[in-house]
Structure 1
Amino acid sequence: MDKADIQKAEKYYVRHLKEVILPFWIPDCIDRKFGGYLNCYDNTGKELLSYNKFTWSQGRFLWVFSELSMCEDSVVTKEEKEVFLEYAKIGVDFLSEHVFLNESKVCTYLMDREGNPIPADESGILSSSIYADFFVAAGFAKYADAAKDYKIFELAEKMYQSIRKRIEQGTYLTLPYPIPEGLRMHGIPMIFLNLSTEMYVSAAGLGLKNDVYSRDMQMFYTDILTNFVDQKHVLREMITTDNCQVDNYFGEYCNPGHTMEDIWFILKAAHYLGDRSVLPLCTEILKNVYKIGWDKDYGGFRLFVHHDGGVPHGKSAGLEKEPMFRQIEENHNNKLWWPHSEALYSFLLAYFQSGDEELLAIYREVFDYTFKLFPNPDSSVGEWIQIRQRDGRPDDKVVALPVKDPYHITRNLILIIQLLNEQAHKADFEGEEENFADKKIR
């Protein structure tokens, strides 16, 4: 991409963020009466179905508004930044007051509108997913950096320590998809990598030591690349607890969206640490997930695929009652909004880091498909249609949580804008260097 292409793309993404995505959420998502955010919309985005508040979406909203308050002046005005930080403070106050179940900073999974913890299913368990804790801690870390709030960073640190302890002890749950006995799920080191990177960046922004987080970042991405990536450079979602591949249905499926999201987690973490050694493997993983995950008949990434491509399959005796098995069987052919927003950023970031033109070509193919299929055709509503059938028709399903989540699209648009802005400045700098060298020669 030359400088003109970069600047054109940046303007497109800024316009899409500010004219298509944010107007859907603002101000209706802000619960002025009780605090926190509202997002239990139907898939069309037209109807709010519930006032319940899922904790991991609350943490994600907090991250988004905190990050928006830190965007470049060319993207967000000073007045808009102040408003976004105010919206983030609403989330901080609500979560700080309502989300914790005990002194160990364990989070409830679900709350009613007022913030009272409520069970998500018949088990009656309130702390039914540690992913909720991950997203709240990441939101707190981002807010702490944005607002220069050291007390909130201390709270994020306490959560980080609590999460680490529970994972080491195995005393945690992962609703709505429990981890089958004897297996490890890629999602745990993946999201822990993201959180440790958020903590690292926030600590640096606050002038605090972050060597603990830098060690964790390297540990998590080394674990992922060493244990979850197979000999063909395909990232598997489940392995055994002693880090071996699994010869059954769960061991043979892949989640292209998770792969692409995690690759940019790894590339960013490694970049902060000055580690370029992972780049060749990461680019190969991306190319392979495109080969096995991209639908050659209709375009787009399937939600789940076999590690060789196509429909997930493998030995399934005894696995049929597992929620994850049913999720894969019922939804593998669907095309969801979030893997495609993750793909846009992951392939573009890997292209700029590596200069590999094949990655740029894939990015452009993903771009064409994504912006043809997902932005809501009803401009009076805006945002994106969340779920499509394999052939591109809208599909009215609940996948994971019964919410319309603001996180993936908004986060990736912000990150893409930042990346393109950096590349434009880099092109300017390189142009100045060339002019200076030319003058010296003359």
Structure 2
Amino acid sequence: MDFKKLADQYKDELFNGVLPFWLEHSQDKEYGGYFSCLDREGKVFDTDKFIWLQAREVWMFAMLYNKVEQRKEWLECAIQGGEFLKKYGHDGQCNWYFSLTREGEPLIEPYNIFSYTFAAMAFGQLNLATGNQEYADIAKKTFDIILSRVDNPKGKWNKAYPGTRCLKNFALPMIMCNLALEIQHLLDESFLEATMKTCIHEVMDVFYRPELGGLIVENVTLDGRLSDTFDGRLLNPGHAIEAMWFVMDLAVRLNQPELSKKATEITLTMLNYGWDKEFGGIYYYMDRLGCPPQQLEWDQKLWWVHIETLISLLKGYQLTGSEECLRWFGKVHEYVWSHFKDPLYPEWYGYLNRRGEVLLQLKGGKWKGCFHVPRGLYQCWKTLEELSEK
């Protein structure tokens, strides 16, 4: 495999295709913040602003400014989005709304914990880029609120009737694995280490289930048991695989090669399980007992699932030398570049049907923004570059 050629391919797509698309089309020059609802060519089709997508774009451009090159337009893009979020994104106490009007009026209450996690990431990177203490304070205060809500992420907006079927979800401990490293410069070292170990325990000891052949489930009971219900049987292969590269990064930070090996094994197990043997690509949702899933979109092929898989496979190969990771990378790479990349316009499609045909031609919407594609291209480029230098 020609790592140098592949590294150049991912880097070129990032700098000459995807980043210019968002810089040109997403910035709201009148009110601040970003448009995320962009059609195939980049035209705005809805002006609502979703906090987690606003924060992800702030993070993206601040991170690139910090780690790749101090480009003025990247910093300006990140700061204007951060200032919009600082002014309108929360209730004054860092309780982050889910969405706003174009002008910044709140539309949906702060029910979604991921508005908080991505706000913390965004302001952590902005603080690194600017040295502005106010940004650090926002990130730390938001992180404290996340920690206080770990046991009930939706707070008073939780729709579940108390005491009947209490389940805990994989998404928050998974994202915390990434968030802990993102804002490590703001955390006390001993606290950071304890947080990392807690996150690893939740992912690898609670949601990872050896008795299911090594699968990761999306929900367990509060005392860590499996639940034979729609939510309890739910698998999201992309979620599990994405979490594994977060765990690999933690394993490197903590110097735990055995943890890298375990995360690599889980990546391959979930990928083998989630791969559509007939049409190719990775299923969005599955039921661990093979029952009909409740999600009607269960068999769609989504951009982020496949891009996160590329990252985990490359990191798994880099850390363990697994030839199976390399074989799978070639297979998933071929699927991604032939199905998600738009041959005519920049940025990638997000939603395919089971056969791999484009379902929606949008480049951004309520759930897809300036995040998984550029972050994935960045991560793959850097890992491939390191592999080529070896």
- Determine the structure 1 residue equivalent to 2:360: 396
Q: CA deviation at 1:194?
A: 1.6
Q: TM-score, normalised by structure 2?
A: 0.92
Q: Aligned partners of 2:273 and 2:383: how far apart in 1?
A: 27
Is 1:152 the counterpart of 2:142? The answer is no
Q: CA deviation at 1:403?
A: 4.8
Q: Helix, strand or coil: the match of 1:296?
A: coil
1:311-322 pair list within 5 angstroms: 312-313=290-291
Asked if structure 2 preserves the Cα contact closer than 8 Å seen for 1:261 and 1:342, the reply is yes
Is 1:112 the counterpart of 2:101? The answer is yes
What amino acid is the match of 1:221? I
- Determine the structure 2 residue equivalent to 1:16: 13
Q: Aligned partners of 1:151 and 1:16: how far apart in 2?
A: 34
Asked if structure 2 preserves the Cα contact closer than 8 Å seen for 1:234 and 1:288, the reply is yes
Q: Helix, strand or coil: the match of 1:59?
A: helix
Q: Helix, strand or coil: the match of 1:385?
A: coil
Match of 1:195 among 158, 162, 179: 179
Asked if structure 2 preserves the Cα contact closer than 8 Å seen for 1:227 and 1:243, the reply is yes
1:37-436 pair list within 5 angstroms: 37-42=34-39, 44-72=40-68, 76=69, 78=70, 81-103=71-93, 105-119=94-108, 126-168=109-151, 172=155, 181-200=165-184, 202-203=185-186, 209-231=188-210, 232-307=213-288, 312-313=290-291, 326=294, 328=295, 330-378=296-344, 381-396=345-360, 402-425=366-389, 427=390
Q: Helix, strand or coil: the match of 1:391?
A: coil
What amino acid is the match of 1:334? Q
| Fraction of identical pairs, as percent | 27
Q: CA deviation at 1:340?
A: 0.7
Asked if structure 1 preserves the Cα contact closer than 8 Å seen for 2:101 and 2:107, the reply is yes
Q: Provide, for residues 314-364 of structure 1, a one-character-per-residue CA deviation record: whole Å limited to 9, x for no partner.
A: 7xxxxxxxxxx74x2x11110011111101111100110000101110011
Say if 1:192 and 1:181 are closer, same or farther in 2 by CA, change over 3 A. farther
Q: Provide, for residues 275-327 of structure 1, a one-character-per-residue CA deviation record: whole Å limited to 9, x for no partner.
A: 2231232122111111110111111101012336xxx517xxxxxxxxxx74x
Say if 1:391 and 1:176 are closer, same or farther in 2 by CA, change over 3 A. farther
Q: Provide, for residues 85-104 of structure 1, a one-character-per-residue CA deviation record: whole Å limited to 9, x for no partner.
A: 1111111111111112142x
Where in structure 2 are there 5+ consecutive unaligned residues?
none
Q: Aligned partners of 1:168 and 1:360: how far apart in 2?
A: 38
Q: Provide, for residues 161-215 of structure 1, a one-character-per-residue CA deviation record: whole Å limited to 9, x for no partner.
A: 0111122466627899999941111001111222112111x44xxxx74331221
What amino acid is the match of 1:86? E
> What stretches of structure 1 move > 2 A for 4+ residues in a row?
44-47, 146-151, 166-181, 208-211, 400-404, 420-425
Q: TM-score, normalised by structure 1?
A: 0.82
Q: Aligned partners of 1:177 and 1:82: how far apart in 2?
A: 47
Where in structure 1 are there 5+ consecutive unaligned residues?
120-125, 315-324, 428-442
Aligned residues: 386
Larger radius of gyration: 1
Say if 1:178 and 1:188 are closer, same or farther in 2 by CA, change over 3 A. farther
Q: Aligned partners of 2:33 and 2:279: how far apart in 1?
A: 39
